[in-house]
Structure 1
C-alpha cells in the first residue's frame, strides 16, 4: 500500500483550496487536509460582535469579501469565554501571549508548541519559540507537541487507554506544506503522533484538541457541529 505521504505529494493542489481526503492508519480512520504556501490559510477568532465560535459564523463574515472557507478546523485550546489559551497572532497582531510554564491539562504537558506561518509553515516548541521570536503572520499555541524533530513526545504511552477523537497539524521539513489531521475514531496520543511521523513523514507536529475536535470540509460533505470553538484555522477561497 502506498504511504499517505506519497499520495499527497503526487496529488496536484489548486491554489487557495486545501485537498481533504479520508484515510486509514493502523485500523483507525482519519481525515487529512493538506495546505501549501499557495493557499490563503488564516486564523479566525473574533468579529465585530465577539468570538465567531463556529464555521458558519466565519463564513458569514467572509461573505463581505465574496469568499468562503475551503476547509477549516478548531486550532487550539480556549477558555470558557472562548479566549485562546496561549499565543495567538492574527495578521501579525498578537492577541494573546505565549505561555511557557508547565500546567494542568494537555496544554501544560510540556513540551507544547506553536504553529506559525508567514514565509513558511513551522511547528516550534514553545520555549524555542520564545528564544527565537520568529515573525509570524499567523500563530496559535497549543499542546502537547506530538512530534519534535522526529521524536514522539516523551510522555506518550503506546498502550494508553486515554482515547479521544483528536486533531492537530504537522509540517514538512522545508516548510512548504502543512497537513491537518482529525481522527474519526477515538485514538490515544501515541497512535496519533505516529500518524504524523511514521505515515505522513512529518518530523514536527502539534496537537490542537481532543473530544471537541471538529472539521469543515465541504468537498467531503462534512460540517461538524457542537459547542462553540475558540481559534479556528482554515483556507479562504472565492465563493462560487
Structure 2
C-alpha cells in the first residue's frame, strides 16, 4: 500500500506550472468569449479506454468515483476521465458502445429528437494505438472493428467544416464537452467552463485544436475528472465514461 501511495502522490497534487493548477497534459484556453479546459493525449503512449458496465457489481459505474474505486482494486488508476456519450435513464448508451472489442450496444442510424439525432452524428473510436472520429455513415462504410468506440452527436467538425446547423448568433448556450483528433494523431478532450454556443465550441476544435473531425459528447451533464488538478466534477449520474488509465508498477 505504501508503494502505491508513493507512486500516486504526483497525481494527487497539482503538477502544473500554469496558474490554473493543471497538469502538463491540460491547458486553460479562451476562445470567442468561452473559457475551456483542454486535455490532450497521444494514443500511442496513453491508455484511452471506455467504461460503462461494472461487471463485478452488475451495475453501470455511474460516476468517476465508482470507476476509480474499481480500477484501484486492479492496481490501476485514472489520469483523466470525461463523460463519454449520451445515455438513457438506466445509464445505458443511446448509440454504439464498444468496450475491449465487444459491442455492448448497437450503432444508431434512426431519427429522433435531441442533440444526438442532430444529423450527422458520429463515433469516437480507438483501434490499437490509434484514435479517430468519424461521421456515423463514414464509420459504417469503413467496416471498422475498433477496440473501443462511443457514438454521440452532433458532429462538431466534419472533414474540416462546421456542422451545417450551427448558427454563429444562436441564443442556445450551455456547458459542453467534446473530443477531436488532430492531424498528428493527438486526441483532444475539451470542456467549457461557461455556457457557450455549438458554433463557438466547434470553432475551438477546428481553428485552435486543428481537428478535421470532432464530436460533441454532451451538454448540461458535462463533467471531467483530473486528479492531478484535484478536480472531480459530480453533477449527475453518467453513462459511458472515457478514461485515460495507467497501472501502478509491480
Scaled by the length of structure 1, the TM-score of the pair is 0.90
SS in 2 for 1:65: coil
**Shift of the alpha carbon at 1:239?**
4.8
1:205, CA displacement in angstroms? 0.1
Instruction: Determine the structure 2 residue equivalent to 1:225.
Output: 234
Q: Find the residue that maps to 1:203 and give its secondary structure.
A: strand
1:121 to 104, 111, 131: 131
The answer as to 2:68 corresponding to 1:26 is no
What is the CA-CA distance between 1:64 and the residue it aligns to?
A: 2.2
Partner-residue secondary structure (3-state), 2:81: strand
Q: Which residue of 2 aligns with 1:46?
A: 53
Given that residues 45 and 230 in structure 1 are in contact (C-alpha distance below 8 angstroms), is that contact kept between their aligned partners in structure 2? yes
Contact kept? 2:75, 2:248, Cα under 8 Å: yes
Secondary structure of 2:115's aligned partner:
coil
How far, CA to CA, are the matches of 1:157 and 1:81 in structure 2? Answer: 33
For 1:179-205, what per-residue CA distance to the aligned partner results, in whole angstroms no more than 9, with x for missing partners?
Answer: 000000100100000000011111100
Q: Which runs of 5+ in 2 are unaligned?
A: 1-22
SS at match of 2:71: helix
Distance 2:72 2:78 in 1: 10
Aligned residues: 223
Kindly provide the CA deviation profile for residues 119-177 of structure 1, in whole angstroms up to 9, marking residues without a partner as x.
31110111111122212100000000000000000000001111100000010225x21
Displacement of 1:55: 0.4
* 8 A contact 1:167–1:208 mirrored in 2: yes
- In 1, Cα distance between the equivalents of 2:63 and 2:200? 28
1:147 aligns with 2:154: no
The match for 1:131 is 141
User: What is the RMSD computed on CA atoms of the aligned residues?
Assistant: 1.4
Q: Which residue of 1 aligns with 2:109?
A: 100
Q: Which runs of 5+ in 1 are unaligned?
A: 1-16
Q: Which protein has the larger Cα radius of gyration, Structure 1 or Structure 2? A: 2
CA deviation profile, 1:49-108 (whole Å, cap 9, x unmatched): 210000000011101221110000001000000000100000000000011122210000
TM-score (norm 2): 0.86
Equivalents in 1 of 2:137, 2:126: separation in Å? Answer: 17
After TM superposition, where is structure 1 displaced by more than 6 Å over at least 4 residues in a row? none
Alignment of 1:52-201 (within 5 A): 52-119=61-128, 120-174=130-184, 176-201=185-210
Q: Is the 8 A contact 1:33 1:181 kept in 2?
A: yes
Give the deviation of 1:27 after TM superposition: 2.6
